[in-house]
Amino acid sequence: MMICPNCKNEFAPLSVVQKYCCRKCGEEYRKKHSVDEEYPSITFRCSNCGRLVVTEGGTKDKRTRFCSESCEKKFWKHPHWEHKDNAMQIAPGWKLKARERYDN
User: Largest Cα–Cα distance of the chain, in whole Å?
Assistant: 58
pTM over 0.85: no
Q: What confidence tens digit (pLDDT) does each residue in 47-79 have?
A: 889 999 888 876 677 788 899 999 999 888 866
Name the band, by pLDDT with cuts 50, 70 and 90, for residue 4. very high
d(CA 102, CA 30): 48
Residue-number span of the structural domain to which 41 is assigned: 2-103
Whether 47 contacts 70, CB under 8 Å: no
Q: For the chain, what is the domain count?
A: 1
Whether 37 contacts 59, CB under 8 Å: no
